């Protein structure tokens, strides 16, 4: 054993020094030294292989993370949020509630409920149209219009004073109340993506009211009002899918200027379905409330009217 240990030490030393020098072959008792042909070749390290191994080990977790990452959802692309022009034509089923007063030359007069006193229809279909023009990425102009005319003949149950006409109970009266509203606004979208939009707008409701009372006694009084009622609007749109989208707006303002002082509130909410590239349809809800005093040449008094109901329309965008 004591003789073998020095020999093993000599072999290990030879293997180590062979990396940088000519190999030294120790002689073992009873063994001939190796020939030059069978001598051990020097072993050289290959740093490139070690670097490849380290790089492979480092990339394995990265590949695992990529494969396990969630797949990004596709962003909806609805034409109403990207097309420059949008046009809709339809009809609204409006419920109406109207009170008005026309002052006389000698007094303020009394407030009359037109549905109750004259039997005007509380519900009626009315035509409605809408249009939108996106003249830049964030700027847009909107126009919306509706018109409602109602009239009825009835024998009144109570005395009525309308302007300078005093009509006693039991008189047959024909009354009418018409309204036309054109809403025009210019808006800026402070938040805008391909599938979402939120913005503010300035505009006005060009409102025309006409109320008349005509009796068999020959009394006839008519009041008219045409006024641009300014509003501030908040609007938004959201694409649910490539086919379905939601849109809404809120117009409101409390004003005091000739010939009107009071407030106006207008709400519109729509669900849009566009199964074809340029043609679709929609269903929504409309509310318009105007209340205040009037001081004009053809109407001196006050008005309080409310219109609300669903809307159905066909639409196109391009």
pLDDT score at 259: 80
CATH code of the domain occupying 79-317: 2.40.128.90
pLDDT score at 108: 75
What is the DSSP pairing of strand 139-155 with strand 244-257? unpaired
What residues are paired with 226 via a beta bridge? 208
The distance in angstroms from the start CA to the end CA of the chain is 99
Name the pTM for this structure. Answer: 0.75
pLDDT score at 23: 46
CA 171 to CA 194: how far, in whole Å?
62
Taking 60 as the threshold, does the pLDDT of residue 254 lie above it? yes
Q: How many residues does the chain have?
A: 318
CA 55 from centre of chain: 50
Per-residue pLDDT band for 155 (boundaries 50, 70, 90) equals: very high
pLDDT score at 54: 47
pLDDT score at 5: 46
For residue 174, give every residue at least 6 positions away whose Cβ sits within 8 Å of its Cβ, in sequence order, or none.
151, 152, 153, 213, 214, 215
pLDDT score at 159: 92
Host H or E run for residue 245? strand 244-257
pLDDT score at 36: 46
- Say if CB 282 and CB 79 are below 8 A apart: no
3-48 confidence digits (pLDDT tens): 444 444 454 444 444 444 444 444 444 444 544 444 445 545 454 4
- Say if CB 317 and CB 80 are below 8 A apart: yes
**Average predicted confidence (pLDDT) for the chain:** 83
Higher-confidence residue: 238 or 215?
A: 238
CA 202 to CA 204: how far, in whole Å?
7
- Give ranges for CATH 2.40.128.90 in the chain: 79-317
pLDDT score at 62: 46
272-307 confidence digits (pLDDT tens): 999 999 999 999 999 999 999 988 888 989 999 999
60-117 confidence digits (pLDDT tens): 444 444 444 455 578 999 999 999 999 999 999 999 999 999 988 777 778 999 999 9
Q: What are phi and psi of 211, to 5 degrees?
A: -130, 135
Burial 138-174 (b: 16+ CB within 10 A, else e): eebebebebebebeeeeebeeebbbbebebeeeeebe
Q: What mean pLDDT is predicted for residues 201-217? A: 93
For residue 138, give every residue at least 6 positions away whose Cβ sits within 8 Å of its Cβ, in sequence order, or none.
188, 189, 190, 192, 199
What residues are paired with 45 via a beta bridge? none
For residue 7, give every residue at least 6 positions away whose Cβ sits within 8 Å of its Cβ, in sequence order, or none.
26, 28
- Say if CB 120 and CB 98 are below 8 A apart: yes
Higher-confidence residue: 145 or 299?
A: 145
Q: What is the DSSP string of 45-94?
A: --HHHHHHHHHHHHHHHHHHHHHHSPPPPPPP--HHHH-SEEEEEEEEEE
Q: Which tokens sit at 53?
A: 């191994």
Q: What mean pLDDT is predicted for residues 52-58? A: 48
The residue with tokens 């074809």 is 276
């Amino acid at each position: 054993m004591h003789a073998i240990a020095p020999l093993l030490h000599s072999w290990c030393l030879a293997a180590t020094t062979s990396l940088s020098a000519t190999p030294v072959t120790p002689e073992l008792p009873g063994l001939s030294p190796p020939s030059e042909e069978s001598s051990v070749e020097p072993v050289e390290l290959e740093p490139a292989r070690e670097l490849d191994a380290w790089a492979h080990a480092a990339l394995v977790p990265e590949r695992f993370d990529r494969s396990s990452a969630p797949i990004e959802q596709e962003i909806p692309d609805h034409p109403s949020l990207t097309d420059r022009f949008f046009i809709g034509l339809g009809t609204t089923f409006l419920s109406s509630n109207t009170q008005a007063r026309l002052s006389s030359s000698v007094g303020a007069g009394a407030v009359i409920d037109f549905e109750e006193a004259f039997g005007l229809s509380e519900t009626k279909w009315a035509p409605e149209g809408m249009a939108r023009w996106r003249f830049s990425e964030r700027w847009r102009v909107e126009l919306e219009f509706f018109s409602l005319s109602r009239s009825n003949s009835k024998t009144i149950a109570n005395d009525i004073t309308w302007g300078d006409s005093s009509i006693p109970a039991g008189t047959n009266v024909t009354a009418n109340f018409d309204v036309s509203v054109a809403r025009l606004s210019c808006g800026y979208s402070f938040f805008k993506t391909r599938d979402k939009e939120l913005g503010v707008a300035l505009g006005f409701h060009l409102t025309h009211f006409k109320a008349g009372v005509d009796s068999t006694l020959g009394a006839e009084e008519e009041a008219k009002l045409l006024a641009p009622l300014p509003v501030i609007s908040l609007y938004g749109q959201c694409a649910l899918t490539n086919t379905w989208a939601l849109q809404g707006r809120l117009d409101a303002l409390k004003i005091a200027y000739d010939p009107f002082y009071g407030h106006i509130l207008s709400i519109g909410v729509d669900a849009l379905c566009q199964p074809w590239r340029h043609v679709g349809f929609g269903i929504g809800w409309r509310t318009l409330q105007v209340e205040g005093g009037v001081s004009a040449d053809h109407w001196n008094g006050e008005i309080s009217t409310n219109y609300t109901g669903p809307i159905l329309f066909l639409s196109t965008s391009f």
